A and B are shown apart, each in its own frame.
Chain A
Amino acid sequence: MSEQTTFVPAQTRSAVWMRLLLWAVLIVFAIWFLLPAYVVVGTSLKELEEIRGGSLLSLPHELNFWAWKHAWSEACIGVTCTGLEPYFWNSVKMAIPAVTLSTLLGALTGYALTKWQFKGANMVFALILFGCFVPFQVVILPMAQTLGIIGITNTVYGLILVHSVYGLAFTTLFFRNYYVTIPDELVRAATIDGAGFFTIFRRIILPLSPPIIVVSVIWQFTQIWNDFLFGASFTTGGAQPIMVAMNNLVNTTTGVKQYNVDMAAALITAAPTIFVYIVAGRYFVRGLTAGSVKG
C-alpha cells in the first residue's frame, strides 16, 4: 500500500458511497430471494409440532430428517403409500433416454441442415423452428392418439417419445446455430479424405460440440424433469413421473396437513435439476454465447 491512500478525493469518496449502497441493495435482494428457499429447507427439517407452534422463520431446534425419509419411502400418493421413490426412478428412466435421444437427434439434424445444404433446407429449418412456438396443449390430443396407435400409452416409453419429439425443435435450433459457426471447409476436407456423412459427424463434428451439448442437456433435462402436463396427460398411477406424483402427494391429505413432508418432497423433486445446474451450469452460459463470439 502506498502513502497516497490516506488522501481520498471527493470524487472517490462518493464512489465509495455508491459502492456501499450497491452492496446494501444487493444484500437486501439476496435475502429477499433466498427467504423462500430458507423456509422450505427449514420447514422440511422441523417436526410437525414445531411447525404448528413456532414461527415460519425460526431455525429448526434440531436437524430432523423424518420428513425426508417419509416423503421418499412412506408417504401416501393417492391410495398407494410408497413415497416418491418409485416415481423418482420413473422420472430418471424417462429423462435420461429422452434427453440423450433429443440431443443426439438435434445434433444430427443441425449438422445435416448446415453442412449438407440440400434444396429446401432453410424451409425445413423454418418449420422446425416453428415447432418451438407450438404450445404443449396443442399437441396433447394428437399425441394421445399416436401413443394409442403405437400401443405405448401409460408407459415410460410413451413419455420418452413425447419429450424427444417435442424437444427436437429446440435442440435442432441450438445445434444448427452452433454448427453454422464451424467452417464448411472442414467437411469438404473430410469428404476428400474419404469420410462419409456419419463418419464426419462422429469423428469431426461431435468432438467439437461439447459446449452446445451441455446447453442442450441442461435445457432438455430441466424441461423434461419439470414437465407436469405431459406426465399428467399420458400416465396414471404407478407409471407417473415424480412431478405428477409430488403434486398428488401434496394433494393427498388424510387428516393433518404435513407441511414438513410436502417441503421435503418438493426439495427431493427439485434436487436433480439443481444438481445438473451446479455441475454443468458454468458451461451453460459459455455454450449459449459460443456461437456469437469467435474463438
Chain B
Amino acid sequence: MASLTIKNAVKRYGSVEVLKGVDIDLQDGEFLVLLGASGCGKSTLLNMIAGLETVTEGEIMIGDRLINDVHPKDRDIAMVFQSYALYPNMTVGRNISFGLEMRGVPKVEREAAVLEVAKMLQMDHLLDRKPAQLSGGQRQRVAMGRALVRRPEVFLFDEPLSNLDAKLRLEMRTEIKRLHKRLNATMVYVTHDQIEALTLADRIAILKDGEVQQLASPAEIYDQPVNMFVAGLVGSPPMNFISSTVTRTDTGYGAEISVRANDGDQPVLLDLSDHPTDLSTHVGRKIVVGLRPEAITQSGHSTGSTTQSFACDIDVTEATGADTLCVLNWNGKEVMARVSSGYAQIIEGTMDFAVDMSRASLFDPETEMRLG
C-alpha cells in the first residue's frame, strides 16, 4: 500500500515544455483521475509515473521512495493502455502471467494467480484463446487482469475504456469502481470523459496545457470550479456564463441582465446578496455569473434559499429522458435550463423559471478566476 507524491514535475521535449510543474499528492488507496483535453499532457504525466518517460525536473515518489531513476519494473506499478497492448502471439493466460514469469515466480504459483484473477474478472473460460479471438470488452478484461495479477502498489490507466462502445464502457466503469473498492489500491486514471471522471474519482486533477488547474473532489470541482476553464470542462451541458456588471441594491448586490420574455427583452436583477465574497470593490465592474443548467428550473420546483423567479421565453426544448433541457435567451445569448420532463413537453413559449442564485459561481472576466 502506498501513497504517490508528485512534486513540481516538469517535462520538456527539447525546448517544448509539455508539463510545467505539476504538484499532486495522493493518499494511499485514493483514486485520482487526470482530466483534460487532448494534448494537455495527461499521458505524459502517467508515463512519467510509470517510468516510461524521464522526469526533466521535479520528484516522483511512491511511499517515501524517490523513483525518478527507478526502472519501470521495479516501481511496483501496473499500467493498462488505451490500445490494451496485449501480446498477440500469447494466449490470454500467458499474457496475464508474463509479468510474473519475468519476475521469476514459479510456475505453480503463476497458474494459481492467473486463475484467481481470471475468476475475479469472469474470464476463466478464455484463458487458452489468443487476443485476436476476443471481443473488445474481453480484451479490456485481459488488460485489466494483466495489471491485477501482480498486485502492484499503484495502478495506472491510460484511457482504458475509450475503445469500447457506450454500454460496455458503462459496465467496465462500474467494474473498475468495484475493483478499486475491493483492492483498496492507489489508482491514477487518465480520461477526457468528464462523466467517467466524476463517477470514478476520489479526486480529480484538471490539466490544461501542462498545468494543474484544480485538484479536488468531484463535488468541489463541480460546485466550486476555480476558473472558467474548469467550469466549462466539467458538466454536460456545460455551465452557462452570463456577462453582467455588479450593482448595489437595497439588500446587497445584484447583476442586471436582460431576459427574453413575452417576445420582448425584460430587465432582471440577479440577486448576489448571498454570495460569500465581499463585492463592494466590484461595484460597477464587469463580472461573469456562472449558472449550471440545473440551477435554472421550473418555478416552484427549486428549493434554494435565494431563489428568484421570472418569466422566460423558451426557444427550443431537448428531451433527455429524465429531464428536459430548455434553451432560453439571456443577454442575447443561449442559456440552458434543466426542467422536469413533464413540464416543457407541453409548454413552448413563455414559462416561469426559478433561478437558485446560491449555486451561482462568480468569475472575473479578465482573469477568468473564481471570486470567493
Chain A interface residues (CB < 8 Å from chain B): 183, 185-186, 188-195, 199, 203-204, 207-208
Contact = CB atoms under 8 A, between A and B. Distances in A.
Given A190-B98, A192-B50, A208-B88, A185 B72 contact: no
Contact of A186 (B52, B73, B85, B146): B85
B63 interface: no
A291 B309 CA distance: 65
Contact of A188 (B77, B85, B102): B85
Contacts of A195: 98, 102
6 contacts: A183-B85, A185-B81, A185-B82, A191-B72, A193-B73, A208-B89
A199 B81 CA distance: 21
A199 B85 contact: no
B79 A192 contact: yes
B88 A193 contact: no
Contacts of A199: 102
B103 interface: yes
B83 A194 contact: no
A99 B352 CA distance: 84
Interface string B66-80: 000000110001110
Interface string B112-151: 0000000000000000000000000000000000100000
Contact of B99 (A185, A194, A207, A208): A194
B89 A189 contact: no
A183 B77 CA distance: 21
B310 interface: no
Interface string B87-100: 11100000000110
Contacts of B89: 204, 207-208
Contact of A192 (B52, B82, B83, B88): B52
A276 B88 CA distance: 28
A192 B73 contact: yes
Main secondary structure of the interface of A (DSSP, over half): helix
Contacts, number: 52
Contacts of A185: 81-83, 85
A204 B47 CA distance: 21
A189 B51 CA distance: 11
Contacts of A204: 87, 89
Given A192-B52, A194-B102, A194-B103, A186 B87 contact: yes
A183 B82 CA distance: 12
Nearest to A195: B102
B73 A189 contact: no
A208 B88 CA distance: 8
A191 B47 CA distance: 12
User: Which one of A189, A190, A208 has the greatest number of beta carbons of chain B within 10 Å?
Assistant: A189
B188 to A, nearest CB: 14
A157 to B, nearest CB: 34
Contacts of B79: 188-189, 192
Nearest 3 Cβ contacts at the A-B interface:
A194-B102, A194-B73, A207-B89
Interface in B31-85: 47, 50-52, 72-73, 77-79, 81-83, 85
Contact of A189 (B47, B77, B85, B103): B85
A192 B98 CA distance: 11
A192 B78 contact: yes
Nearest to B103: A194
